[in-house]
Amino acid sequence: MSKKVFVKTYGCQMNVYDSDRMTDVLKPHGYEVSQSADDADLVILNTCHIREKAAEKVYSEIGRLKLNKQEKAAEGKDTYIAVAGCVAQAEGGEMMKRAPAIDMVLGPQTYHRLPELLKEAEEQRGGGKNHARVLDTDFPAETKFDYLPEEKTFDNAAQFLTVQEGCDKFCAFCVVPYTRGAEYSRPLKAILEEAQRMADAGVVEITLLGQNVNAYHGEKSGGGTASLAELIRELDKIDGIERIRYTTSHPNDMEDDLFNVHGEVAACMPYLHLPVQSGSDNTLKAMNRKHTREEYFAIIERLRASRPDIALSGDFIVGFPGETDEDFEQTLDLVRRVKYAQAYSFKYSPRPGTPASATEDQVPEYVKSQRLQRLQALLNEHQLEFNESKLGTEMDVLLERPGKLEGQLIGRSPYLQSVHVDLTKGGENKLDAGPDNTYNAYMGKLVRVKIVDAGPNSLKGEFVSLLN
């Protein structure tokens, strides 16, 4: 009889990718994916540790799952709870002590061992025990990528593909080097094979993932290593892959050829997430970012010279220890100069074990809140301006999911904007709605769209023509 697994994913896109891989690993062992925890035999919480309250959120979720586990046990059915991801890596042992309902803890580097861990948990509970105690937060010598089944689920025309993992940068605020470990790049061939399988399954857009993706240096079969620029040029040769993105990049790893790629490879989308975190040289230094604001401006200038319409996105932290009003003004000034199309901003949150968490000059909470509010108001203003600048233009949209309105599908613009496309338009190119009158058959298609409305978070467009 087949069993069911439900994975709840917190945090970044890499966790989304990892969650899919965990279900891939379990599939040959008879596990189907469930959309809800209620009917699942195994619930995995794939956790994130990057900012505040991550562990608390996990504990409250476990509280709910525990009740479910008890109810199922009363009906004579064994269910299992696993905690995976970065909170598991950082606090796994402690979590098991505090929440005995957890059967398994596994870190981001060991999810290929999930079937064995599950077996061990089942054996432990074989004697009628309510809970198992299985913990695996190793950084194993073997890489999980070599142990993943080739059979993967690609249920969307836009897919993530992890090419690099871990980080050696050690920014003073960040847990990633501790939870994900040292930088590792997958070999070029393995990535191209995975991309080819995606293309064969109808995937149109690939987003290359890595904590430090532009530091990618994957081994080549003939010797030497390939850079991210080289990888993108290779991916561009695969039939059917029309769009390539990559995230997240560090300014210091923007190598020369990557700028060229943005100008030369049409499939490389005109959008780049290039976090700067702060606009103040003092804060950048204290954060151990290893570049200045002027160096960042020079990178942006080169990008725009190579691809004039490139949309930029970034991450910002306000209230890093020691950040003064003047430092914060420098961040606002940088934002005004760069004008991001989109951005994420956060209050600094001390992460256990990171250098910045131990410093004494922490910024008071109310100051962080005020700064965040001012920064976000400015970023939102720019985001709306960017969206409005596309009014009346035509652009290509990859249709990915149904919209709320009849005749509408939702997709992404080249600039990663969400576009609600009215497919009932199109004049003589007008599409056939299909027997169910939903246009759902066009999901996975690239369409030309005329933008007719722009809001802070999305655009509205009318269908013009079909592109693929």
Nearer to ligand 5AD, 251 or 275 (CB): 275
- Smallest gap, in angstroms, from Cβ of residue 221 to ligand 5AD? 33
234 or 315: whose CB is closer to ligand SF4? 315
Shortest Å distance, C-beta 354 to ligand SF4? 9
Phi, psi of 116 (to 5 degrees): -65, -40
Kindly state the smallest distance separating residue 51's Cβ from ligand SF4, in Å: 12
Residue 339 structure tokens: 């004008």
Spatial distance between the Cα atoms of 4 and 230, rounded to a whole number of angstroms:
40
22 binds, among ligand SF4, ligand 5AD, none (CB under 5 to 8 A by kind): none
Q: Shortest gap between Cβ of 417 and ligand 5AD (angstroms)?
A: 21
Residue 42 β-bridge partners: 5, 80
Q: How far is the CB of 208 from ligand 5AD (least distance, A)?
A: 17
For residue 180, the minimal CB distance to ligand SF4 (Å) is: 8
Work out the angle at residue 179's Cα, subtended by the Cα atoms of residues 176 and 181, and round it to the nearest 5 degrees. 80
Provide CB contacts within 8 A for 105, sequence distance 6+.
82, 83, 84, 88, 92, 93, 95, 96, 134, 135, 136, 137
- Closest CB to ligand SF4 among residues 226, 276: 276
Contact 335, 379 (CB under 8 A): yes
Choose the one of ligand SF4, ligand 5AD, none that binds residue 317, judging by a C-beta under 5 to 8 angstroms depending on kind: ligand 5AD
Q: How far is the CB of 85 from ligand 5AD (least distance, A)?
A: 14
Vertex 146: Cα angle to 145 and 152 (nearest 5): 65
- Per the structure block, which two tokens stand in for 458? 């999305």
Of 92 and 314, CB closest to ligand 5AD: 314
CB of 215 to ligand SF4, least distance (A): 9
Residues that bind ligand SF4 (CB under 6 A): 167, 169-171, 174, 176-177, 211-212, 250
Of residues 259 and 346, the one with the C-beta less far from ligand 5AD: 346
| Residue at token pair 């233009």 | 393
The binder of 212, among ligand SF4, ligand 5AD, none, by C-beta within 5 to 8 A per type, is ligand SF4
User: Which of ligand 5AD, ligand SF4, none has residue 241 at its interface (CB below 5 to 8 Å by kind)?
Assistant: none
Q: Which does 50 bind (CB under 5 to 8 A by kind): ligand 5AD, ligand SF4, none?
A: ligand 5AD
Judged by beta carbon distances under 5 to 8 A according to partner kind, the member of ligand SF4, ligand 5AD, none in contact with residue 216 is none
**Shortest distance, CB of residue 248 to ligand 5AD, whole angstroms?**
7
- Of 262 and 289, the one with the shorter C-beta distance to ligand 5AD is 289
Helix (H) or strand (E) holding 454: strand 446-454
Q: From the list ligand SF4, ligand 5AD, none, which binds 319 (C-beta under 5 to 8 Å, kind-based)?
A: none
What does 250 interact with, of ligand 5AD, ligand SF4, none (CB < 5 to 8 A by kind)? ligand SF4
Instruction: Report in angstroms the alpha-carbon separations of 413 from 214, 261, 270, 407, 458.
Output: 23, 19, 10, 18, 10
Cα(118)–Cα(356) distance, integer angstroms: 37
The two structure tokens encoding residue 274: 């290039």
Which residues sit at the interface with ligand 5AD, rule CB under 6 A? 50-51, 173-174, 275, 277, 315, 317, 346, 348-349, 351
Between CA 323 and CA 329, with CA 326 as vertex, the angle to 5 degrees is 100
333 binds, among ligand 5AD, ligand SF4, none (CB under 5 to 8 A by kind): none
CB closer to ligand SF4, 135 vs 171 = 171
Q: Which is nearer to ligand 5AD, 350 or 444 (CB)?
A: 350
Picked from ligand 5AD, ligand SF4, none, the partner binding residue 51 (CB below 5 to 8 A depending on kind) is ligand 5AD
Contact, 195 vs 159, CB < 8 A?
A: no
Of 250 and 273, the one with the shorter C-beta distance to ligand SF4 is 250
Minimum distance from residue 81 beta carbon to ligand 5AD (Å): 27
Three state DSSP letters for 280-341: CHHHHHHCCCCCCHHHHHHHHHHHHHHCCCCEEEEEEEECCCCCCHHHHHHHHHHHHHHCCC
Which of 9, 38, 11, 36 has its CA nearest to residue 21? 9
Using a 10 angstrom Cβ sphere, with 0-12 exposed, 13-18 middle and 19 or more buried, the burial of residue 205 is buried
Q: Are 340 and 303 in contact (CB under 8 A)?
A: no
Beta strands in 229-333 (DSSP E): 243-247, 271-273, 311-318
The residue among 11 and 426 lying less far from ligand SF4, judged by its C-beta, is: 11
Give the dihedral sign, CA 201/14/90/40.
negative
